[in-house]
Structures are given as C-alpha cells and as structure tokens.
Amino acid sequence: MSNYGESAGAPSGGVQSVDRAVAVLEILAQHGEAGVSEVAAAIDVHKSTAFRLLGALEAHGMVEQESERGKYRLGFGVVRLAGAVTGRIAVTRHGRGICERLVDEVGETMNIAVLESHHAINLYQVRGSSAIAAQNWVGRLTPLHCTSSGKILLAHLDREDRDELLAEAGLPRFTPRTVTSRKKLEADLSEAREQGYAITVEEYEEGLNALSAPVRSDDGEVVAALSASGPAFRLTVERMHELAPLLVAGADELSRRLGYAG
C-alpha cells in the first residue's frame, strides 16, 4: 500500500491534501506521465480524488494534460518555482570565491543571505580566521529589522511590500539597541540606500556587529545581501565604515557575475 493513501494515522484535512499533491508531482517526475487511474492507484485513493487533485494542480500550472491520451505530465509552473531556487544556487555558487577572498581581506565572517517570507535566510558562510568568530548562521532565519542583511533587503523593497512584511513580522526587541520604531527603521533604510550598505550595532545579539551590501541580479533587482559580522569590540562602527568599500566592491562583483551590468 502507498504511503500516501487513506490509511489509519494519515494526516487529515488540508495537510493530507498537500501530502497527496506533492506525491502526485513526485510520481509524474519519476514516470514522466500518468493517467488518473495510475495516479489513484499509486497514492491509494479513489479515482475521483485523484481527478480533483490533478485538476487543482492543472489550474495552477503544476501539471498539464495530454488531451489525446488523457495522460498528465508536469507543467511549466514547476519550472517557474524551480527558477527561484536556481537563482539562489547561482548566488551561492558565484559568491563562494568572493566570500573566501573577503574573509582574508576583512578578517571577519562572511555570509550571503536572501529574503525568505518575512525573514532573511543565510545560504552560505565563510568563517573568519580569528578564534573569536561569529557562529554558524547557514540555514537560519533571522529578523529583517535588526540584522544588516535584513536591512539591506528591506531597503530595496517597494514600500508596499516592505509594509506588508513588517506588518507580519512586527519589530520585536532582541537587545537594548534593537530598533523598534518604524520611523527610526525607515531612517536607517534610507541611509542604507544612500551610502550603499547597512550596519547594525548589537541590534540582534549583544556583542555582535555587522555590515551588509546589496547583490543584484541581471535585471537590477536586489536578490541577496553580502555581509560581514564579528564581535563588537573588534568590528567597531568606525571599522565597519572603513571596511564598507571592500564589502560593496565584493557585492558589486557578485552582481556582475549574476549578469548585472549597472
């Protein structure tokens, strides 16, 4: 019996529907195409259930039907979704060498982060050589309003999109220095746009400072943030402003590798 069927212990409601829809996509990915009866048998559901699942996926462009034979195959909607992941993979692939070089030049830990819902998520990190270095941030979701990467990503969003994300996330306080005023945050974001980089001074974690610069795709959209972070006693505000040109140059180089010609 299939793991996706209607057996005891299976999830119910919307979660079960999602599980089944994912199972259908996996089946089509493995076999190339399948009919309603084949899908129903593979996920152990009635044909009417399989038909509804395929219809819902077809409405969203995830699958398409061969009209002559009644078979279904993956649709171009899957390609659209995969494109977003491909872009992130490209940022990481092209950014590795730049991060490794900047660790030597800057002496602090380097990260590449992208927007993920109302968070920033770190995709890649190269740790600084110092014994006192930032922790491993890869895969971690971090707030937008109190991290340098988050501020850069927020700064280059449309005001409407920024309002929506901040309404969802709020401006929670993490340290005594966290910016919790929308007016002050907007001032920080405006400064980041003007000077080409953002800094945070013990706003997310006490004792941790960071600076970040924007990375652009071929169409000029800011798709990632390149950041340097380190202990506040070493990565002082003055030091961050001194290092900013190196970081911005690295972010610009990564942008060019992604096809940005600006």
Angle of helix 47-59 relative to helix 13-31, nearest 10 degrees? 80
**Predicted local distance difference test score (pLDDT) of residue 82:** 67
**Could you tell me the CATH number of the domain that includes residue 60?**
1.10.10.10
Same-domain pairing of 171 and 224: yes
Same-domain pairing of 103 and 174: yes
| Residue finishing a domain among 74, 99, 115 | 74
Same-domain pairing of 212 and 250: yes
pLDDT tens, residue by residue, 155-197? 999 999 999 999 989 999 999 999 999 999 999 999 999 999 9
Does residue 7 lie in a domain region? no
Same-domain pairing of 96 and 37: no
Place of tokens 């007016």: 183
**Predicted local distance difference test score (pLDDT) of residue 5:** 46
Over residues 125-149, mean pLDDT: 78
Same-domain pairing of 124 and 48: no
User: Measured in Å, how far apart are the chain's first and last C-alpha atoms?
Assistant: 56
pLDDT band at residue 246, thresholds of 50, 70 and 90?
very high
Mean pLDDT computed over every residue of the chain: 86
- Listing DSSP states for 67-85 in one string gives TTTTEEEE-HHHHHHHHHH
Angle among Cα 90, 112, 197 to the nearest 5 degrees reads: 120
Same-domain pairing of 123 and 59: no
CB-based contact 117:178 (threshold 8 Å): no
Contacts of residues 48-52 at CB distance under 8 Å and 24 or more positions apart, as own/partner, are 49/20, 50/24
Domain with 227, as residue range(s), is 84-257
Residue 112 bridge partners (DSSP): 124, 226
pLDDT tens, residue by residue, 1-49? 344 444 434 444 568 888 898 999 999 888 888 999 999 999 989 999 9
| pLDDT more than 70, % of the chain | 87
**Predicted local distance difference test score (pLDDT) of residue 92:** 85
Amino acid at 64: E
Whether the predicted model's global pTM rises above the 0.85 cut? no
Does residue 138 lie in a domain region? yes
pLDDT tens, residue by residue, 204-227? 999 999 999 999 988 899 999 999
